[in-house]
Amino acid sequence: MDRFPVRLILLCFISFCEQDVDIYSFHINSTVTSRYAITVITSRVANRLNSSKEIHFQVKIPKNAFISKFKLTTEGKTYDGVVKQKEEAQQQYSQAVSRGESAGMVSSVGRTLEDFKTSVTVAAFSKVTFELTYEELLKRRLGKYQLLINAQPMQPVADYKIDVYIQESPGISFLKVEGELATHELGSAQTTTIFDKEHMMVNFYPTREQQTMCKRCSENGLSGDLLIIYDVIRPKPSGELQASNGYFVHYFAPTDIQRIPKNVVFVIDKSGSMRGQKIIQTRLAMLKILGDLTGDDYFGLITFDSQVQDWKPELLQATERNLDEAKTFVNMIKARGGTDIDSAVLAGVEVINSHPRQGSASILILLTDGDPTAGETNPESIQASVKSAIQGKFPLYCLGFGFDVSFNFLEKMALENNGVARRIYEDSDADLQLQGFFEEIATPLLTDVQMNYVGAENVTQASFTQYYNGSEIVVAGQITDNSLETFQTEVIAISKHNNVTYQDSVSIIDFTDVLPEDENFIQRLWAYLTVKQLLDRQLTLSDHEKEMVRKKALYLSLKYKFVTPLTSMVVTKPQEEQTQVAHKPSEEESNDNPIQRPIQNPNTKTNTKCQFSLSPPAGGVRFIISAQPKPICYDMPADHKLRLLQDSSSNFSMNGELSSNGFNLIFLHYKTDHLMLSTKEIHYYDGQNMRQTGKKETVLSLNLLQNNQMDVTMGTVCVGVLRHEKDGDTFLWPVVKQPPSNITATDYQNSSTPTVQCWLVPFQFALQGELSDFKVLQL
């Protein structure tokens, strides 16, 4: 009779644990080909109940991306999302609403991400698969690209995978993984594989246990961002030109140029609404920004409320004395009064225009947190007078602080004057956002950049007022001249001292037979970039032209199935459920968007049970030297940078930084090549002179072995690197497998006097003392 109660308990246990709705598989697969990223999120869910149940699918995608596909598969049938003109989709949506169905619009805007969510009713004991695809061109900022992947499946998942595959043809200069999911405790879930310089892969496969036992997770699983950050090598100053199937793309980001001195004028809103944290953060940021100006820069400061206050009526050189004076002025900025944007910006333009300087780059920066309320308040009049004052001579950047600002107004004004508008989010890091923006434009390298392509049409923006270090110019287009065998580009620009010309050409490869149209990434990249730029342009145009531009953007959005502000995706669901419509929210909409607050996510609850404690205080690390008859060991204090191996005959060296249990950083240097290994990332620096691809010298080979092991061969030296985990700390341990040179000694301890390979070390190291300690005067 004993068996019965036991079984009963087991049954209870199972029904308690097993989720009614089981996400049994969650995959994110991102493929980046020359900065163009296509990401597919696939979620497979089972309804384990004996009745039908509404199942939700909710993910976050980067703001810059366009959704291009959505599929829902259940009971053997697939329902595809269809991209339609927004108005048409809206109509379907309204009909659904008028039938009393809650066909919720599907997105809201956050700082870097927007939401996509939908749901479907799934029959008893049935399964559903959701598949969402989105595309984006990664933008280079401050010398790097960043692929942002957000993952929050809402419950622990048995089969959880994030795969990122990156292919960059001249080669990847460094790659690292950051973000909330790239923590020590999840370290063993993540691997980076370097196939060669051009192909790398990042995998993140947390076990079910890891999904519940980390700082960022709870019984609802894992939630957070994974950031894949990298840059590419640029062997040619003329950039990287690719062409196939009648389309080309040109990436241009020369670095070997002298910086051009700036004339920068800051126009800063100090109206009443800036009071409090905003003005404090603005002062902080300005002090730092002023500190970063260089001696040959000139600068001006204008603050405004209902009145305009020039700090000095002219541009001043960024000398130490002038900067100190400016900092004193900045520290005294107080917030009060109205907002006369018009007079302030015009005063800024006047300062720049009245101090022309040969061989410099002028920049006007407006920071405001509100709508114009004093002086000229009509947005169109302000835009018109600012445009006619600047006359396209230099860019105007508009920073909108917070959500009380009319972002459309600022965006239009910036775009009309070759600049961009950026929102500064009211948050504890607002000063860093301001500094970050300034850093992006801090180093002008070229002005008046004109990119020319012979035999091409429908080319995206090809002239740029300024090019800044750390950024990248990307131009794509159609090759319409069919007789071309090679495709040529010419870039003309003004650098610090002279006019420069870059030329390049590429042979046209025709993959027509091999690649279906929608797999040609260059063509999709062209479409993506064209739509983005048309959408920006239509903001600055008036009625008739605007309509033409919108039509073009709509045509391309529909053709390439992009969900843009002009289109929406209609998702028709099984069994006469309501139709849902996904649309792309604009930055401005977030202004009055009631769903501004992040959606309550059960995952963000912290589970104190799982709180993680660091390893015990470090006493030092014990090293072992193999020796006969017993190994020798010694202790080394932690937190030191150590030389582990040096061989001057082959110019190889290995250094390591010791943490509490082992090494957290290992550097391998071989001639001009440098490899950095940490528990999370591998950086590869290819010296100063970038190597031409194709004739790859086999200086470096990386082999990812199983069980957290990797072999690195540089020159003739081979080092195995093991990754260990102890007390929740992940660390590395190098093992020299192939020593640098061939040094031998005769072993006279053995009667047969064999010759053995050995390490040659300074005798002080081996004897733990100076020679004098061992010398005697008399035997």
Ligand X SMILES: *[C@@H]1O[C@H](CO)[C@@H](O)[C@H](O)[C@H]1NC(C)=O
Applying CB under 6 A, the residues found at the interface with ligand X are: 29, 31, 50, 143, 163, 255, 258-259, 443, 457-458, 469-470, 478, 498-499, 552, 650-651, 671, 742, 750, 752, 754
Tokens of 393: 């001579």
**How far lies 482's CA from each of 132, 530, 597, 696, in Å?**
36, 22, 53, 33
CB of 259 to ligand X, least distance (A): 4
Q: How far is the CB of 389 from ligand X (least distance, A)?
A: 23
- Residue closest to 163 by CA, chosen among 26, 24, 45, 62: 26
Nearer to ligand X, 259 or 355 (CB): 259
Q: Strand 361-368 and strand 396-401: pairing?
A: parallel
CB of 762 to ligand X, least distance (A): 20
The token pair that represents 204 in the structure block: 């993140």
* Amino acid occupying residue 771: L
Cis peptide before 313 (omega within 30 of 0): no
> What are 453's strand-pairing partners?
489
Cβ closest to ligand X, residue 169 vs residue 533 = 533
Residue with tokens 């002028």, as numbered in its chain: 362
Query: Residue 123: exposed, middle, or buried by beta-carbon count in 10 A (0-12, 13-18, 19+)?
Result: middle
Q: Beta strand 444-453 with 316-317: parallel, antiparallel or unpaired?
A: unpaired
CB-nearer residue toward ligand X: 443 or 730? 443
Q: Which one, 379 or 715, has the nearer CB to ligand X?
A: 715
Half-sphere exposure of 320 (CA within 13 A, CB side): 0
Q: Find the shortest distance in angstroms from Cβ 256 to ligand X.
A: 8
CB atoms within 10 A of CB 346: 20
Within 332-480, residue ranges assigned H as helices are: 341-353, 379-390, 407-416, 430-440
Least spacing, CB of residue 242 vs ligand X, in Å:
19
User: Closer CB to ligand X, residue 662 or residue 739?
Assistant: 739
Q: What is the DSSP track for 111-130?
A: SSEEEEEEEEEE-TT-EEEE
**In this structure, are residues 163 and 32 in contact, taking their beta carbons and an 8 Å threshold?**
no
Which of residues 92 and 469 has its CB atom nearest to ligand X in the complex? Answer: 469
Going by the DSSP 8-state scheme, the letter that residue 195 receives in this structure is: E
Closest to ligand X by CB, 206 or 400: 206
CB of 426 to ligand X, least distance (A): 30
From the list 74, 218, 591, 123, the residue with the least C-alpha distance to 371 is 591
Q: Are 341 and 366 in contact (CB under 8 A)?
A: yes
Cis peptide before 565 (omega within 30 of 0): no
Beta carbon nearer to ligand X, 92 or 567: 567
CB of residue 717 to ligand X, shortest distance in Å? 10
In the complex, what is the shortest distance from the CB of residue 317 to ligand X, in angstroms, rounded to a whole number? 19
| Closer CB to ligand X, 259 or 537, in the complex | 259
Residue nearest ligand X by beta-carbon distance: 754
Least distance to ligand X from the beta carbon of 530, Å? 7
The phi-psi region of residue 296 (left if phi > 0; otherwise alpha if psi is between -120 and 50; otherwise beta) is alpha
CB atoms closer than 10 angstroms to residue 711? 16
> Between 519 and 727, whose beta carbon lies closer to ligand X?
519
d(CA 562, CA 573): 20
Q: Which is nearer to ligand X, 31 or 73 (CB)?
A: 31
* Least gap, CB of 778 to ligand X (angstroms): 34
CB of 565 to ligand X, least distance (A): 18
- Smallest gap from Cβ 136 to ligand X, in A, equals 15
Beta-bridge partner residues of 109: 114
Nearer residue to ligand X within complex by CB, 29 or 418: 29
DSSP letter for 258, please. P
